[in-house]
Amino acid sequence: MLEKLVVQDCPNIANSLDLSACTNLKYLDIRRSGFTGIILASNAPTETLLLNDPTTLSFNNLSRINTFEVGYSRLNTLFLNNIDNSPGLNSKTLVSGVTSQTDIISYNN
């Protein structure tokens, strides 16, 4: 079962990264990559998210995130659901970095 994924310095990757089936993922580092979107498994034990500059983020029931870094310049869709129990990630933290062009979809926050 995948627990750690590191994909760095791959700017020519221009796809979304769907990790919704990776229910054991604890560490994700995709800095300096070209991934356009990130979807994480609901209730995953993810503790560290080091992200690039995506256009779409989808977080659902992530309560263990301690370390979080993301670029916001291309972000246009942000989906949040039940993330405020996470010590390193909450809706206020995420929303503070977005621009007025970003669609924010939030439930139970």
Residues 20-58: pLDDT tens digits?
Answer: 999 999 999 999 899 988 888 888 899 999 988 888 887
Q: 60 in helix, strand or coil? A: strand
The DSSP letter of residue 97 is: T
Residues 76-94: pLDDT tens digits?
Answer: 877 777 666 667 766 666 6
CA dist., res. 59 & res. 86, Å (int):
11
31 close to 69: Cβ distance less than 8 angstroms: yes
Q: Is the pTM of this model over 0.85?
A: no
- For 92, the domain range is 4-107
For residue 108, pLDDT over 60 is answered with no
Number of domains into which the chain is organized: 1
Structural tokens at position 11 = 């700017």
In angstroms, how far apart are the furthest CA atoms of the chain?
A: 38
